[in-house]
Structure 1
Amino acid sequence: MALKTYHGSCHCGAIRYEADIDLTQGAGKCNCTYCLKARAWTTFMKPEAFRVIAGEDHAVSYHKHDQAPVKFHCPTCGVHVYGRGDADYMGGPFVSVFVATLDDATPEELAATPVRFSDGLHNNWQNPPAITGYL
């Protein structure tokens, strides 16, 4: 396990966080309508491993339906930063961080991060869609 505290932010820096993440455990890409449009690449952690250090009151939430996690983005620069959810298949409450918002992850760490694909479009979260190259 290579747990490391990363720092992240939106583009303008109004929202900043730190999170204890093991990128060697992977990150996810999904084909649900939100993730597809947002080009989401996320990594997940328990809520206690995530700390907003600035701008929590600045973040705008978005929640399409009860099964979807609440996503947060910056209204100033528009960057999708993190999400919060609670799902049995995720082991209960979780936070998702948009990997692109990690400020201090090296290109080598990002390139080595395994990617898991989920067929969220069909609520088949534990399995990849038939085609993943566009994600």
Structure 2
Amino acid sequence: MAGTEKTEALDKDMDRIRGACHCGSVRFQVCLTNGLHTARRCSCSYCRMRGAIAVSADISGIVIEQGEAFLTLYQFNTMTAKHYFCSRCGIYTHHQRRSNPSQYGVNVACLEGLSPFDFEEVPVNDGVAHPSDRKGESGPVLAGVLKFIPADR
């Protein structure tokens, strides 16, 4: 399988990286909040279907360098989260988080030189019981862990 082989250790402490959608119409630079340590998935209805691994960046930490006009917005349910994707190729690039509207979740697959398969384990947050919907509770609840186990060659 192409794209699943690791040639070097993943630098989870990286802070600044470039990204793009699949067709390259949307290009951006992002300053990550706590590097790749924030990698996660979500179990809400939208994220289950989207299937992306996201990392965090402050709202001021992402700069769209090219193709802002190609970004399309999708919102649902409470209309708080703002999910952006390229109107040409359909790839989700980032979203403004519902649980923390001062941050973006950025699609790891759009980041230069990274793949979702670079992560051996990724925590999956319970998006069905979203932190904003749980009275008196805060923070994400772990729904499980997604593992990538490469096939032996």
- The question of 1:2 aligning with 2:16 is answered no
Q: TM-score, normalised by structure 1?
A: 0.80
Give unpaired runs (5+ residues) of structure 1.
none
| Root mean square deviation, CA, Å | 2.8
Match of 1:111 among 111, 119, 139: 119
* Aligned counterparts of 2:61 and 2:114: Cα–Cα separation in 1: 16
- The question of 1:19 aligning with 2:30 is answered yes
- The question of 1:95 aligning with 2:104 is answered yes
Q: TM-score, normalised by structure 2?
A: 0.71
CA shift for structure 1 position 5:
1.2
**The 10-residue stretch of structure 1 (56-65 or 119-128) with the greater mean CA deviation from structure 2:** 119-128
Percent identity over the alignment is 20
Identify the residue that residue 52 of structure 1 maps to in structure 2.
Answer: 64
Task: Give the direction of change, closer, same or farther, for the CA distance of 1:35–1:79 in structure 2 (3 Å limit).
Answer: same
Size of the aligned set, in residue pairs, is: 129
* Aligned counterparts of 1:50 and 1:37: Cα–Cα separation in 2: 25
Structure with the greater alpha carbon radius of gyration: 2
CA deviation map 1:51-70 (0-9, x unaligned): 11111111110000225410
Q: Which has the higher contact order (CA 8 A, sep 6+)?
A: 1
Give unpaired runs (5+ residues) of structure 2.
1-11, 132-138, 148-153
Pick the structure with more helix per residue.
Answer: 1
